[in-house]
Homo-oligomer: A and B are copies of this chain.
Amino acid sequence: MSNHDLPTLAIVGATGAVGTVMRQILSTRQNVWGEIRLIASPRSAGRLLSVRGEDVEVQALAPEVFDDVDVAMFDVPDEVSAEWAPVAAARGAVAVDNSGAFRMDSDVPLVVPEVNAPAARNRPKGIIANPNCTTLSMIVVLGALHAELELTQVFAASYQAASGAGQGGIDTLHDQLSKVAGNRDVGSQPGDVRRVVGDDLGPFPAPLAMNVVPWAGSLKDGGWSSEELKIRNESRKILDLPDLKVSATCVRVPVVTTHSVAMHATFDREVSTELAWEILRDAPGVVLYDDAARGEFPTPADVVGTDPTWVGRVRRSLDDTHSLDLFVCGDNLRKGAALNTAQIAELVAAELTGSHK
């Protein structure tokens, strides 16, 4: 513990897309922190950024900034985390990392507080990893169902937002929408979307406006994308189900923020729609919004900017009494990144201050 009454927090990557949402989130949640240090690359050093209503000067990333820090959050690219999270840990901080650098490291817990909070205490490297945003969009719902029904298999198809590819993804979508809008002919003839959008595809391998793109991440063995394998590997680790059968197809859609996932989940126990509703209605971090007769189901436009994972379209499969079909939405910048990191950091803060039950 530092020499304050409350633990000291460092946010590494405070100026980025997730870091910006992180500062907003820390300004609205119940405060558990003493000093909050904002860390970024040297070119951002000296800037003043607001957090908890106060202006804080950004410091350049260096080993010394972690002195007396209790928890250091990392919202930076994989290679920056790989280098600097161990530095923070060596200086005595618990590093909570939102990159992919440590997620599958067996000495690093991968934590979703609603699902596996106790795992955060076992961190031999002093590092805790935050899951990928797409995993996070579905895992709170899957975890709640698994706790009661014992998950055996899940098939997922994602509808991923542009902001999952960072600020460049958001900018590209807005640029492309401006080009295709107002032209009522575009979208009906071969190649016309590509012609109108032009060559600047930003971080995407095809036009995103008026299109869907079945690709996210990098190519792995067997034709799988890295994003699809993350869903499989991270779900297995978080749920502590090393043999869970998972198949995912990841697809980018022209939505700014909030990932959606259509899921077909199979359980060891028999299920019903009513039982699933009962479980999900009481699940922490979940909003059940499921009344198709009243037009109630989650959509990204309604979910963006909110904290919980929303779930609707819950249906017991017609051909299998052990399976459910459902549709979930989660804000990929909040629960999918900054919020879950903040929640993990708060778990550690509670542990350090002895207030954890």
Contact = CB atoms under 8 A, between A and B. Distances in A.
Interface of A: 153, 155, 157, 159, 163, 170-171, 174, 177-178, 180-182, 184, 186-191, 193-194, 205-207, 210-215, 219, 222-225, 232, 243-249, 251, 253-257, 260, 262, 264, 273, 290, 292-293, 295, 297-302, 304-306, 312-320, 323, 325-327
Given A187-B304, A245-B320, A320-B245, A214 B260 contact: yes
Contacts of A290: 223
A219 to B, nearest CB: 5
Given A157-B262, A262-B214, A304-B189, A318 B207 contact: no
A323 B247 contact: yes
A316 B300 CA distance: 31
Contact of A178 (B153, B182, B297): B182
A353 B167 CA distance: 62
B222 A190 contact: no
Contacts of A297: 214-215
Number of chain copies forming the complex: 2
3 residue pairs, one from A and one from B, having the closest CB atoms: A187-B256, A181-B181, A157-B157
25 contacts: A157-B249, A157-B262, A163-B188, A181-B182, A187-B256, A188-B257, A190-B304, A206-B299, A206-B302, A211-B300, A215-B292, A215-B297, A219-B293, A223-B292, A225-B292, A243-B319, A244-B319, A245-B317, A245-B320, A246-B319, A247-B264, A247-B317, A247-B325, A249-B326, A253-B253
